[in-house]
Structure 1
């Protein structure tokens, strides 16, 4: 790094809109995107700092902004309002520091985000390709037009360079875990799900599936890539040696390539790595007895599934590519292995009526799930559903997240009725003797006090218990 001018990058990660920036919250996992960018910069000899504003108040921001050469902000569609607020605050602290934005929302709307958020620079694509050149640009050693995916304003005109992605994920350095060491992750609903230090990993990027409600294919430019089992195991061993006790895999679909997952699990078992593993995204059609048995032996404790509906008609409409029988098999097999299971359901598909939703509730009750989460469908920018609604004039091009609502021509049920149905779903699923017995027996088998705490939190947070009218069909 002869004659290198060390640049200081400050990366900021924001809470979702609706959560205060200046209030500390307990989070599930750290901002991997910023950690990867920081690792690339540190490898080049530069300095990076990460501030997770979900876990730290904005008071800590001032001293870091004043010391930074550039401020990078991860932009999610769900945190746009908080992003605007933090950019205004940064401008008040230091009007001259350049602001760089990137992340999922930027990959979808591209240079439009640059203007909307009043940033100086924007990266479209995967920032690891470009971030080192941005450091050189700040040094005066690289021209803006030569940086892949960079959007910028010059002489009142917006310029956009073609984006790039990382073809071989094994070439990336491991994320800069040490930059978020001060934060305590691993919380769901304010409850620490497992004891010990917690870190997340992503072992693939993109998704080979095309669900109508999802915008993921837009984020990674429709290209699915995976890390090799050897590369994944090296990071797991590194974290284990650093004292981490828990890892959550945050891939969109960790189990897609079952042979690769088996190799990873075999490596964990062979190396006698004693950790808890959580799979944040899994498809039910990946369920396999031998694979699940191996996952259990390796230390997998919790799996989250995208179930979506208890109606085959709705699953087909969403282009899920799964069946109700596959759902039953996967959840029962996971329960047999003593995995903690979380099932996510979506209410309010355009063709869905109250009978469909009641079918979903009854179907959820048949499954031995530990947690069932019921969400109202969101038309989110970049998804096929959003694109169709915009073409039909039901959603404006600047309405990035819109919930299903018959009063807007989006679906058959009003937002109010969907909220009532969601409350009904929570009440009918959780307040059952069969469910309580299942959880008590599972707790006794697992002897996991954290599971017991989590389930008690679910009951405590079901504030709609007094609205008994939702129980009636």
Structure 2
């Protein structure tokens, strides 16, 4: 059986980083880990060809080769996902679909021949059995059963073109113990975190090592510390493996804010060459955190927790949301103040969305407040429900705050202060990589744009000199963060344009009004000039 593995296009988003990736000749941040895991779960006598539409073209020759297509996608990939189903039908290639999008909204994937929903360790064997019996359609579900991931095989990393990606990805655990009302992770993967064994994860890293990978690895766990006991057991094994292999990788991951209360965990992560962690902070407003049942964020000072994590040696990225029920006016400004107080460089900021089948989704449906049945977690999408304060106010606060957060000078200010606070790397593997021509060219372009052309020119050189003087071993990491604002400088304009267009349409439909400009007209020109 010749199987075409398809990964749909992502729209431009907070995490797409096109402008920054161009500097180092990469096409995407991360590979489709789910698809290469699917390939490992399917019969290994089958032939596989992977087409990630974010890094390469899908050709007529691919369709002619394929006897079967399998596709996975997230909600944000909806447009290309639905297009590829129709393309498969046009080419008369049966297609099976799965992943978070199809699992959450199976009726939207009804045109696919096979729906392989929930977690693949359970439903892929059902699918294979149906195909081998000659079935031409089917829907396969796990009926609430969560698989034991200690049996999950090593993903087929060999199917990937390493040169296309900035980082690789691996997974240690699934699920999260918390009960945030808006979160779909606990719906998809449950509240009891399940982990692989340390030996499993090390076998995956050994595979990547043997294939020649020597750059960053994102541990995609939605809460890396959901099972602290197993996490520490794995880190102790990983520490020895990293030392024996000469520290070939740098890691980053996602965790809950209570990481700050576990110094042993943070120390182990740093010793294993973790250099960054993403935290779901959401909002500094305690009332909103309590309402959305994110109680873990109310037990200790958020600012002090972020500071403790940074000073332990982990760069902090964080997520923020505007639009919670009962939220008071000025939420956007409060988030900006918190981000600048804590010096978080990358603050992922979005309007709240009610994702399918979450507790928030069900509550809002019961209250008759859903505007749309679909959902999209991109920053360029209006809320899909009626909030408790005017949507126009929330949208305007969101656009204004996003614009401020990614003002080039303010972004540099935060990044510089963050790296001073971070201190020198504590892991022997945090050495500077050898410069090649691609990295040298990226450095020269960055220095030209931010140090000569733009209004950041004075701060860029002043701060770089400060880093070289006060914390010289992080200069490469620091400049990498500076480079990411090449993306945000353009993306903040995209956010403003698309949100204001959608808001104008919403107001015209709902009230017959037109949106008032949320930012001064000259800021549009400033985005390009700066």
Fold-level match, TM-score > 0.5? yes
**Residue among 111, 120, 125 paired with 1:127:** 120
CA distance in 2, matches of 1:162, 1:261: 27
User: TM-score scaled by structure 2?
Assistant: 0.72
Q: Would the aligned equivalents of 2:323 and 2:387 in 1 still touch at CA under 8 Å? A: no
Contact 2:182 2:355 (8 Å CA) reproduced: yes
Q: CA deviation at 1:421?
A: 3.3
Corresponding residue to 1:236 among 205, 212, 220:
205
Deviation for aligned residue 1:407: 9.5
Structure 2 residue 158 is the aligned partner of structure 1 residue 181: no
Q: How many residues align?
A: 430
Contact 1:13 1:31 in 2 (8 A): yes
Q: 2:80 aligns with which of 79, 82, 87?
A: 82
Q: 2 CA distance for matches of 1:380 and 1:406?
A: 9
Partner secondary structure for residue 344 of structure 1? strand
Pick the aligned partner of 1:356 from 325, 331, 342: 331
Larger RCO: Structure 1 or Structure 2 (Cα < 8 Å, ≥ 6 residues apart)? Answer: 2
- Please report the RMSD computed on the Cα atoms of aligned residues, expressed in angstroms: 3.3
Preserved CA contact (<8 Å) 2:179 2:191: no
Q: TM-score, length-normalised on structure 1? A: 0.80
Structural mapping, 1:15-414, within 5 Å: 15-17=9-11, 26-43=27-44, 45-58=45-58, 60=59, 62-92=60-90, 94-95=91-92, 97-110=93-106, 112-115=107-110, 118-140=111-133, 150-151=138-139, 163=143, 165=145, 167-186=147-166, 198-220=167-189, 223-245=192-214, 246-271=216-241, 272=243, 273=245, 274-287=247-260, 288-321=262-295, 322-323=297-298, 325-395=300-370, 398-401=373-376, 408-409=386-387, 411-414=389-392
User: Quick one: structure 1 residues 451 and 431, their matched pair in 2 at CA, closer, same or farther if it must change by over 3 Å?
Assistant: closer
What residue number does 1:193 align with?
none
CA distance in 1, matches of 2:68, 2:486: 45
Match of 2:439 in 1: none
Does the Cα contact within 8 Å between 1:8 and 1:47 map onto a contact in 2?
A: yes
Q: 1:417 to 1:406 in 2, by over 3 A?
A: farther
Distance 1:469 1:320, change over 3 A: farther
Q: Contact between 1:347 and 1:377, CA under 8 Å: does it hold in 2? A: yes
1:88 CA drift (Å): 2.2
Call closer, same or farther: CA 1:306–1:144 in 2, change over 3 Å.
same
Does the Cα contact within 8 Å between 2:154 and 2:203 map onto a contact in 1? no
Kept in 2: contact 1:250–1:280 (CA 8 A): yes
Deviation at 1:244, TM superposition (A): 2.0
Uncovered stretches (5+) of structure 1, i.e. residues with no partner: 1-6, 152-159, 187-197
Indicate conservation of the 8 Å contact 1:247/1:276, yes or no: yes
Give the secondary-structure state (helix, strand or coil) at the position aligned to 1:10: strand
Asked if 2 retains the 8 angstrom alpha-carbon contact of 1:26 and 1:185, the reply is yes
| Structure with the higher helix share, 1 or 2 | 2
Instruction: Report the Cα offset of residue 120 of structure 1.
Output: 1.0
The unaligned stretches of length 5 or more in structure 2 are: 420-462, 497-518, 524-530
